[in-house]
Chains A and B, each alone.
Chain A
Amino acid sequence: MDLEIIGISVLWTFLFGYVIVASIDFGAGFFNAYSVFTGKQHILTNIIQRYLSPVWEVTNVFLVFFFVGIIGFFPKTAFYYGTTLLVPVSIAIILLAIRGSYYAFETYGSRGHKGYAFMYGLSGLFIPASLSIVLTISEGGFISLNNGHPVLNYWLLFKSPLTWSIVVLSIAAVLYISAVFLTWYANQAGDIAATNIMRKYALIWALPTIITAGGIIFELRLHNHEHFERLIDLWVVFGLSFLLFIGTVMLIWRRKNYGLAFVLLVGQFALAFFGYGFSHYPYLLYPYLTIYDGFTNHAMAISLIVAFIAGLGLLIPSLYLLLRLFLFNKDYVKGKSDHHP
């Protein structure tokens, strides 16, 4: 297999990891803020805080890992994306910064502060929106070269239906993924009231998620026909993904086996995410940059992969320990054992 393919697969897998853990995190922040403002805080906050507190920092590292990795494997992305994404990515950074620090201020500083909870919840919805712009841009048509410098056409981006479909999908998916996970987590904790609320949210957000996901395929037909055809070639993958979606919704509807429902959801998004990624091949930025002409030299690629394997050797046992202690520890989830910061 080409080193290019290994590189992009590693990065795409990490991006997928970020999409799942960050969705849970962003959605949880939003549901938390929403419960504060609708007076249901006593039901949800404990469950949400107990899950988020030990893992929030780890979530952030997934993102850092992705963008450091992509510059490492594909230094040319710095030239195209770095120049054009100054504004959207800066806004995402600012939102991430507000969100991360306000989370810490609220959790470790003054618990129950309404302003912090609000900022934290709202910023969590704008971040996926501002980051998903990158996916739109990668489809091509928004960047032109001016004297050899890439320039982003904001107006074209703003009025494109594709942009808005992707933005709406990112928000709906965040809320859906998060609600399914928290339904399971609350059920683990034996918290019936919280489980019921989260179950309701999961069912509410299932429909917009699947509608916008389908809509994007339609938009692509008009915007980037080459990509659309490659997507259609992979119809089996997306069909399977849709079946898994039905499975998740059925299980939640019947209040059965929430754990399996979450596993099916991860499967659904994995198939769609990797199917989408595969159909995008070989472009990083259509039509300027492919993974072949943007790739780093051989020596760096090898050493990055070696570092990556060594790093995983260190990370996987540590992550396992983290999950064992907090996510799959009944006493912790139920709030029995000590967890005061």
Chain B
Amino acid sequence: MGNEDALFFSRVLTELTLSFHIIYATIGVGIPLMIMIAQWVGIKKNDDHYILLARRWTRGFVITVAVGVVTGTAIGLQLSLLWPNFMELAGNVIALPLFMETFAFFFEAIFLGIYLYTWDRFKDQRKHLLLLIPVAIGASFSAVFITMVNAFMNAPQGFDIVNGSLVNVNPLVAMFNPAMPTKVAHVVVTCYMTAAFVLASIAAFRLLKGSDHIYHKKALFLTMKLGLIFSIATAVIGDFSGKYLAEYQPEKLAAAEWHFETEEKAPLILYGVLDNGEVKYAIKLPFALSFLAHSDPTAEVLGLDQFLEDEIPPLYIHYLFDIMVTIGMWMVLLSFVFWIGTKRRWVFVQSNWFRWLIVLGGPLSLIAIEAGWWLAEVGRQPWILRGIMRTADAATSSNQVDLMLMLFSGLYLILGMGTIVVLSRMFRKNPVERELEDREAEQGGGQAWT
């Protein structure tokens, strides 16, 4: 196996690990906030249903955290194992946020452990809320720090290159690079959005499967409302990301939009297929790309013709862009209709077909997350450090990457199936009706449950 093969298999293995990890990571960043909000609403409304909601979410969350932790460890080590030349170079500049991420994660781990094993230890629910705050903060900040690392790869700065070596390093400048604000904001807010819609799809599923408990209805309304807020925020920040790309990474925007020739009043291309360099069956929105890129419908947008052949990313990223944006818009619409419909007592939002759409929303949001990351990552090829180091020069020289790829594929298969089996068994065996009865019996006929 030559270095070509090592490069190919390293890319596949990294993609596989990250694609698997981000499912758990997204849930891991988003759900603590939802748990905290549910606990808070429960205290504010003095409604124990929400407290129970927080606990049941946490119980499932622990399983996803475990897989998130172990796959996170895997990608953390794989960065050095598969891309040693990259880490040797970039480690000099970007180690700080990487290091801070472990602190955030440490913080979360400690308080999650405490929260889990002190249920009902304190009479005052506000103390339990206090324990949840560091969990949510730790989770979100690990996303912030690790996304800073990724943003650096897209917009490296904070050092000078003199005779091939890095000098005058400034770690803070490297962390606060131009890609950072939009990337971090987009990642964090899409995590919240996805977590909300995943939880909504569980609630909708229980309602569809016969349970007509008020608990699920409260869960559904809360999560869809949160989902609406976060999906709107996602769309707004997504727009900022487009403007960032136009300014700093125009080749990624041009490839994602199939914008071949530099022009003013550029149209936005939605959908369509590429056939021998020709775009077919696409919807063209006049002026939209200029507006997206520069907030001005007549502005000039750089096209792919401005870049060297071997410095433009693969053109298939356009499909990923379509998937991500379509799902995002669809979820805004769906949650908005649900919210308005519930307020105005429209009957159809309680119908089975509408609930099935909500059930579908969770997996769709996860697909959008995957598509978005593939777009972001493939969109900076051929670079691993844009403008500085090519991916091909970063890979390991080891000959065993293909074997490792097989081993890890097996691992992720086992972990994925394990998660599904354990989670579904956990909640099927202990439906909310039974847990409510148990708790009532424990507390000697609590009146709070009516």
Residues of A at the B interface (CB closer than 8 Å) are 53-55, 57-58, 60-61, 63-65, 67-69, 71-73, 75-79, 81-87, 89-91, 93-94, 96-98, 100-105, 108-110, 149, 296-297, 299-300, 303-304, 307-308, 311, 314-315, 318-319, 321-322, 325-326, 332, 337-341
Contact = CB atoms under 8 A, between A and B. Distances in A.
A67 B99 contact: no
A338 B119 contact: yes
Interface in B407-450: 407-408, 411, 414-415, 418-419, 422-423, 425-426
Contact of A109 (B96, B119, B422): B422
B121 interface: yes
Contact of B105 (A64, A319, A341): A64
B106 interface: yes
B397 A322 contact: no
Nearest to B80: A82
- B interface, over-half SS: helix
- A interface, over-half SS: helix
A105 B419 CA distance: 8
B88 A78 contact: yes
Interface of B: 59, 62-63, 65-67, 69-74, 76-78, 80-85, 87-93, 95-96, 98-103, 105-107, 109-114, 116-121, 134, 166-167, 169-172, 396-398, 400-401, 403-404, 407-408, 411, 414-415, 418-419, 422-423, 425-426
Contacts of A100: 66, 69-70
Contacts of A341: 59, 62, 116-117, 119
Contacts of B73: 60, 63-64, 93, 96-97
A269 to B, nearest CB: 23
B62 A104 contact: yes
A307 B145 CA distance: 13
A300 B171 contact: yes
A12 to B, nearest CB: 16
Best-surrounded residue of A76, A98, A109, A326 (most CB of chain B within 10 A): A109
List the 8 closest A-B pairs by CB distance, nearest first: A72-B95, A75-B91, A104-B66, A82-B84, A109-B422, A78-B87, A97-B70, A82-B80
A35 B12 CA distance: 41
A321 to B, nearest CB: 7
A337 B110 CA distance: 19
B96 A300 contact: yes
Nearest to B64: A104
Given A64-B76, A71-B98, A341-B62, A101 B106 contact: no
A109 B425 CA distance: 7
B170 A299 contact: yes
B109 to A, nearest CB: 4
A322 B117 CA distance: 10
A304 B96 contact: yes
